[in-house]
Amino acid sequence: MSKHKHPTASQLSKSRPSLELKMVAAWQAQAWWLWLLLPVSWLYGAVVLVRRQLYDKGLLSRYKAPIPVLVVGNITLGGSGKTPLIIELVKYLQSQDIRVGVISRGYGGDESVMPKVVTATSRPEQVGDEPCLIFRETQACVAVCPNRQQAIELILKQQPDTQLIIADDGLQHYKLQRDIEWIVVDSGRGFGNKQLLPTGFLREPLSRLKQGTVIFHQKPAPHNSLASSQQPVSDVSDRLTMQLMPNALEPLLANQSAQDKPNPNSANNQVYAMSGIGYPQRFFDTLTSLGYQVIKKPMPDHHQFSEADLLPLSDYPVVVTAKDAVKIAPLVANNPLLKQRSIWVLPVQAQLSDSCYIWLRQQLKALKVLSD
């Protein structure tokens, strides 16, 4: 096909960055005009503080689950690696014969059908993309609902012997009491200008880090290419650290030919990198580090992909994240033209330092989830 097509008006409209993408770009560049929004950030900070104090003083009611709750979240807007971390935690706990359930808000799903348990036939537009991915990778009992109490009660109904609840991205959901907080900090991205929304991308002030277990998400060294060839992350300090290691590209659909797999060592190593995650630059950087020439196609977080997003990308192979793949695969499977395209998934695996597992076991023993 020709590489010089003229896009239609609808395609041009879709290519224009959304407000979210513009803000992400401004935060990354620490644009000067963000400081004009400082009064809004002060107001936001005051609301956050008052709301937290109302819960702390018991003026707003909280729900205490009958079993321990571990919240995994962050204080920044955008992706920090929470979902791969949760998947790794669930797999580890399952290996220790601990019955674990996962709750999620189900962002992007249909709230009218919630609370809802995620199954193999659940669709992202029903329950959200991240819950679908967590269930697919772990087969754990996953329930979605903006009301976390209802999600927990549904898990306990479906799986009465559950010993621990992991709450996905519920750090700021103070209505839910929690026994453990794991706060993921992206060491590579940092905190920008260290200001609250919208001047910066902090959901809560940096002082919030003192109140939970901080997991530092570190960028893998350049020579650490594929997770399949790596040893577990070595514990070089007393910090709790994690890395996201890429695995080999996988076909989006099983019927794709392996001969179409993009080769980073070939002369034709250009790929479209399409991503609708919270921090797409990390995905682009990973593909670049693997040797690909990346044509960036960022989308807003939790983007609802359509065939129109993919149809113009016909000149080179397309690579997507595992989170986006759960939404893109049905689109491709139902479109004869897209089924002929070369579309691949880059899975990533969270590798934790030994200190993370040691600390987790200590926390679970204190809660009597694990025995001595």
Report, as an integer, the average pLDDT of 292-321: 95
d(CA 70, CA 201): 24
Token pair, residue 153, equals 């009660």
Report, as an integer, the average pLDDT of 223-249: 65
The residue ranges of every structural domain in the chain are 55-239+351-366, 248-346
d(CA 326, CA 118): 13
d(CA 196, CA 213): 21
Query: How many Cα atoms within 13 Å fall on the side-chain side of residue 357?
Result: 16
Q: Does domain 55-239+351-366 have CATH number 3.40.1190.20?
A: no
pLDDT at 14: 42
Q: What is the pTM of this model?
A: 0.90
The answer, yes or no, to whether residue 6 has pLDDT greater than 80, is no
Q: At the topology level of CATH, where does 248-346 sit?
A: Rossmann fold (3.40.50)
106: nearest Cα among 143, 63, 65: 143
Report, as an integer, the average pLDDT of 213-237: 61
d(CA 174, CA 204): 13
User: What phi, psi does 269 have (nearest 5°)?
Assistant: -110, 20
Q: What is the pLDDT of residues 81-120, one digit of tens each?
A: 999 999 999 999 999 999 999 999 999 999 999 999 999 9
Run of H or E residues at 73: strand 69-73
The pLDDT mean for the chain works out to 90
Do 55-239+351-366 and 248-346 come out as alike in CATH topology?
Answer: yes
- pLDDT tier at 255 (50, 70, 90 boundaries)? confident
Q: What is the pLDDT of residues 116-171, one digit of tens each?
A: 999 999 999 999 999 999 999 999 999 999 999 999 999 999 999 999 999 999 99
- pLDDT tier at 17 (50, 70, 90 boundaries)? low
Report, as an integer, the average pLDDT of 274-279: 91
Q: Residue 306: helix, strand or coil by DSSP?
A: coil
Q: What is the pLDDT of residues 163-181, one digit of tens each?
A: 999 999 999 999 999 999 9
Q: Report angle CA 286, 288, 291 to the nearest 5 degrees.
A: 115
The answer, yes or no, to whether residue 219 has pLDDT greater than 90, is no
